[in-house]
Amino acid sequence: MNVRRSAAVLAAVAVIGAATPAAADPSPSPSQAFPSALYGGTDPKYDGVWRQSLALLAQDTVGVQPAAKSVEWLARQQCAAGGFASYRPDPTAACDAKTMLDTNATSAAVQALTALGGHDDVTSKAVGWLKSVQNEDGGWGYSPGGASDTNSTSVVIGALAAAGEKPDQVVKGGKSPYDALLKLALPCGGDGDGAFAFQPDKKGGLAANADATAAGVLGSLGKGMVVEPGEKSDTTCEKATTPQQAAANGAGYLTAALTKDDGHLMSALAGAEPQPDHGNTADAVVALAAQGDTAQAEKSVRWLEKNSAAWAAQSGPAAYAQLIFAAHATGTNPRDFGGADLVKQLNATGPAPRTAGETKAADEKDDSGSGSSFGIWWFVGVCLVAGIGIGFLFSGRKKKQQP
């Protein structure tokens, strides 16, 4: 997921002609001051909203109440149009034409804030914005107007589903998001054998991409980042005429790739030595579990338990969240993940979560309708009494004015 986001950011930056590479500074200078509500200690310029959303969603998944200020920080990152940028240092400043809105950040924020509840106004505007920037082929690119890609289309589908929308009914140019994904699915046979491509190349060709395939399986199933194990289905690769068949084909490709490399995926970044890809492996575990291919998902999550500690510590909150999602999807205890407490490690990357006492106090607080039902009806009663008094006052004045 982190690799996917880096690639998407680089593509988007190239489209708008920016010269700055999209790579977070792993060691920010002491003079850099990041918001205290933010999770992670690296430069949030390209992934602030993304990693915050994943951190909050993962906490909610394991029953942890995030710090109120961290949730509020995420909600305030929204622009007036409804979309989210990757990161806005000053959320009080209005977004302008130079603010690069981001479908991935927006979709992640929708999934997190919907799960946490209490932000229907924010998520509704965000969903409206996502619909407004849908491409004619039914899909989405990383930034508005960008060519549709499997990863962006799939994370938007997850946001739509989380918000109670029916993705197949979100249509542009007569095409739904599922139509876009089917166009990005490779046929059976050959090197691709049912995988998904990230995007077509300049000649319209499709190349198998394991990370895009993990995303495409989830998207084709209409699922977000947090899933429950699905029902086992036939993984025989057949022509994909439905999103369900495309998901089954993609799952078969992932299983073969994971089996080939001893339970994990390998990175394939240009110019870099191949190495185990922990993030993409975690995404593949979630996708396989959602598809019902739990046997391979459980084998791969065991590999992650043994090998992901150093990667997660270096990568930060989004990585811990990915591992928590993989643990949840396979019924693995995230508080004893190969001997590590993923929940504790995630919590340590940001503000301390709310305690049970703080949560209870917040629930009981009478704050303009957000407190107890007694407080609400007390307020209504006061208004009624005041209204009756005002009525008598006006009635008395009227009588005095009569001749």
Percent of the chain clearing pLDDT 70 (strictly above): 79
Whether the CB-CB separation of 194 and 240 falls below 8 Å is answered with: yes
Q: Indicate whether 380 pLDDT > 70.
A: no
Whether the CB-CB separation of 130 and 160 falls below 8 Å is answered with: yes
Model confidence at 32, pLDDT cuts 50, 70, 90, reads low
Whether the CB-CB separation of 91 and 77 falls below 8 Å is answered with: yes
Q: Indicate whether 370 pLDDT > 90.
A: no
pLDDT digits 0-9 by tens, 296-329: 999 999 999 999 999 999 999 999 999 999 999 9
pLDDT digits 0-9 by tens, 114-128: 999 999 999 999 999
Lowest mean pLDDT among 72-86, 321-335, 370-384: 370-384
Q: Indicate whether 231 pLDDT > 90.
A: no
What is the structure's pLDDT at 360?
Answer: 54
What is the structure's pLDDT at 344?
Answer: 98
**Which CA distances in Å does 247 have to 134, 158, 181, 217, 290?**
22, 14, 10, 4, 10
Q: Kindly state the average pLDDT of the residues 154-175.
A: 98
Closest by CA position to 22, among listed 41, 2, 7, 1: 7
What is the structure's pLDDT at 389?
Answer: 44
pLDDT digits 0-9 by tens, 133-144: 999 999 999 999
Instruction: Tell me how many degrees the CA angle 126-129-133 measures, rounded to the nearest 5.
Output: 140
Distance CA 305, CA 340 (A): 8
Instruction: Tell me how many degrees the CA angle 182-188-191 measures, rounded to the nearest 5.
Output: 110
Lowest mean pLDDT among 29-38, 188-197, 216-225: 29-38
